[in-house]
Structure formats: structure tokens, C-alpha cells
Structure 1
Amino acid sequence: MRPSAFPLVLCAVLGLAASATPASAADKYSGFLCCNLRTDGSWASDNNYAENGKRILPVGTPVEVTGYGRYRTHIRVDGQKQSIGNDYSRDLDDAAFTKRWVVTEDPKTKIAGYPEKIKTAIANAQITKGMTREQVLMSLGYPMSSENPNLDAKIWRYWRSSFSEFQVQFNGDRVSDVTTDPQTKNLIWVD
């Protein structure tokens, strides 16, 4: 490489490194949880497993994004520190991951206009036939992008626990069925 080209290459590399920074102080904001999110009190993973000892932070819970760590978004909920772990959606940078889970418009406004059966399913982190993709997201959270790279797909894969997979099937934009074992279906599906 010619000596005179080195500063240009260095600037280009540094510029790329700066543009690859996942999130910044400018990405701190107040908003609402897009979806039901299961937490142990301080940590929630994007797998959103329904494990013993976890409680649901309901869709529409006011939160404040306070910062970022390695594959995690730090939030404050009711004055308490929490982190949302980007464990299975690492193809998304911190800002994109956070914007999925923390939205600026309160989803409860939309939920108020839904039929009672849909409202109840969302409140219980369950799904039912005829729900829209948006309603499924509110109820179950985002499916892991590592397993679901396309949110327009006919099937979304979720796990209730590490051993309990289920697949939400869509006909267009509406849920048509769920495929899983009978025990898991009983926990997540409302007839």
C-alpha cells in the first residue's frame, strides 16, 4: 500500500467501526413493552420461556431504556432495573432489538378495541384462532429471529420452555392453528 493511502484506509476502517456501534446514549428513551415479557425480576431473555419463578411484565408496561450491554438492553420498570437479553436474535443490533421490545406508543390503546376473547388471550399470554400477527406478538413476544428470520412466514416457531416447542400457523395475517404436543397446546391455545 502506498504510504499516502494509509490515512484514507485508516479513516475508512474507523468510520466503519463507528457506524457498527450497536447503540448510543441517543437511543435511551421512555416507552412501553410491545409484548408480554417473562422476567425473573431482573432478567428477561428473548426466548421468553415460561419457567418456574418467572412472572409476566404485561404488554404496555411503561419502561425506560437506560443503556446497553453486551447483547442486552437495560431498562427500568417501576423504578427497578431489568435487562432484556438478546440471546437468540443476535442478527439484530442493539437498537433494532430494543425497538422491537420497547415501543413508543402504548399497545394498550389498540388492545382496548379488540374483542374480549382476544383481550383475554393476550392478558394470559395465549393465542387463539383468528388473531393477527400483531396480536400474537403482543401476547407471546417476538419469535427468536435466529429461528424466524422472516416475520411474513406462514409459521412462527416458539418455545414455552427449552423442551416445549410450538409452531403458530398463519393463513395470511391470521392465526389458523398451532402445532405442538397436547400438553403445550393446552397451555397456550384458547378455543
Structure 2
Amino acid sequence: MMRTTTYGLFLLILFSLASCTRAIKPEALPSHITLGDTYYTQFVMRYEKDVHPTTNYRRGASIPVNTPVRLLKMTNKTIEVEVDNSSQHLTVKNFQKHTGDDVYQAFDKLFAPNKVDLSRFNALEKQHIQNGTVAKGMSKDAVLVAIGYPPMTQTPSLDGNRWVYWSHRFNRFNVHFKDGKVSWVEE
């Protein structure tokens, strides 16, 4: 009995350690990602309680596209940034099973060293990008900048004509496209 209990305890500790979040050392980061550097948000990000999940729930407060952030820390599951030279910290929690992205791929979708060129969008698209909303007539690129990437569990390819987003954990909404433009939004 003692041997079985000890073995079970050993397995529990082993699984606990395997699932722990590990800080990534600066020298282990890809060459284009540097702790302390400033990056810009690549789409309007929503967050609650200073957390943005990569499942990209469409609720909570927003951070506009092209907002400068300073990279503070990365782990194998999270990205921590300081927003716009303020005391506000935002933690991005990466849910790889929903996005298919490791933390580095998530970083590359969320942040870049350069601002998004908004001049390529028309007035309607710019207005909705600023508001973090979607409207009929917007291009796929404008939708990505306005509300980000849909989870791949329901939208395995951006080439499709229907993108499924999550309003929150239990509610979804669909963005339908025709000829590369939003034809309607189903909430």
C-alpha cells in the first residue's frame, strides 16, 4: 500500500511540474523578440482584469491598434507587457489548443516593432477599426485589425467565408464574407 501511495504522489508531482509555466530567459527568445523593447498592438485587443486571452473574447475594455507596449516578461504560456508607458500591465494568456499558436506565434500576431499602416483602409474601415467593431463591406484585413484573429477551433483557415469569434466563453458570433468583404455579421 505504501509503495502505491508513494508512486501516486510521485506521478502527481511530476505532472504538476510538467504543467508549470516557465519563464523564458532573454537569451532563449527568438532574435526578433527582446525583453524591454517597445512593440505596437496589431489589432484592437480586449481584456478583463488586465488579462487578454488568445481565445480573443470580444468583451471587456479595449486597447487600440498601434498602442505602444513594452515587453516585460514571457513564459511558455504568457506574455506580460506594460501598456503605453503607464503603470498598466497586461498579461496575454496563450491558449494553444484554441489558436494552434505557441507563445512566440501568438506574440507575432499581437505585437510588432512597427505600427499597422491604417492608410490602406477606407473611412468606414478606419471608423470600425477605431471602435473595435465589424460592419458590412469591411475587408478581411480590416476585420483582423478591428477585432483580431478568430480561434482556429471554429475557423481553421482565414481563407473561408465564415469566421467564428467568441463573445465570451459560451457565446459566439459569425462574420460572413463574400468576395473578401463582410456580407453580414450573425450574433
User: TM-score scaled by structure 1?
Assistant: 0.71
Over residues 100-144 of structure 1, what are the superposed CA-to-partner deviations in whole Å (9 max), with x where a residue is unaligned?
01022211xx32453322211111111112211111011111111
2: CA distance, partners of 1:141 / 1:164: 17
2: CA distance, partners of 1:157 / 1:75: 27
> Pick from 97, 101, 111: which aligns with 2:110?
101
Other structure's SS at 1:127 match: coil
Instruction: Report if aligned partners of 2:55, 2:98 keep a CA contact under 8 Å in 1.
Output: no
Q: How many residues align?
A: 155
1:130 aligned partner: 137
> Pick from 37, 46, 50: which aligns with 1:42?
50
2:151 aligned partner: 144
- Establish whether residue 24 from structure 1 lines up as the match of residue 32 from structure 2: no
Correspondence 1:17-96 to 2 at 5 A: 24=29, 26=31, 27-28=33-34, 29-40=37-48, 42-51=50-59, 54-79=60-85, 80-87=88-95, 89-96=98-105
Instruction: Report if aligned partners of 2:57, 2:165 keep a CA contact under 8 Å in 1.
Output: no
> Pick from 160, 164, 170: which aligns with 2:171?
164
2: CA distance, partners of 1:151 / 1:113: 20
Question: Match of 2:29, as an amino acid?
Answer: S
Correspondence 1:173-184 to 2 at 5 A: 173-180=180-187
Task: Give unmatched runs, 5+ long, in structure 2.
Answer: 1-23
Other structure's SS at 2:167 match: strand
Other structure's SS at 1:152 match: coil
Task: Give unmatched runs, 5+ long, in structure 1.
Answer: 1-20, 181-191
> Offset of 1:154 from its aligned partner?
1.5
Other structure's SS at 2:124 match: helix
Other structure's SS at 1:122 match: helix
Higher mean C-alpha deviation, range 33-42 or range 132-141: 33-42
Instruction: Report if aligned partners of 2:94, 2:102 keep a CA contact under 8 Å in 1.
Output: no
Question: Match of 1:168, as an amino acid?
Answer: V
2:8 aligned partner: none
Please list every run of at least 4 consecutive aligned residues from structure 1 whose deviation after the TM superposition is greater than 6 angstroms: none
Other structure's SS at 2:100 match: coil
CA RMSD of superposed structures (Å)? 2.2
Instruction: Report if aligned partners of 2:54, 2:99 keep a CA contact under 8 Å in 1.
Output: no
> Offset of 1:42 from its aligned partner?
2.4
Over residues 28-81 of structure 1, what are the superposed CA-to-partner deviations in whole Å (9 max), with x where a residue is unaligned?
243211111112352111233244xx3100011011233312421122212432
Instruction: Report if aligned partners of 2:80, 2:89 keep a CA contact under 8 Å in 1.
Output: yes
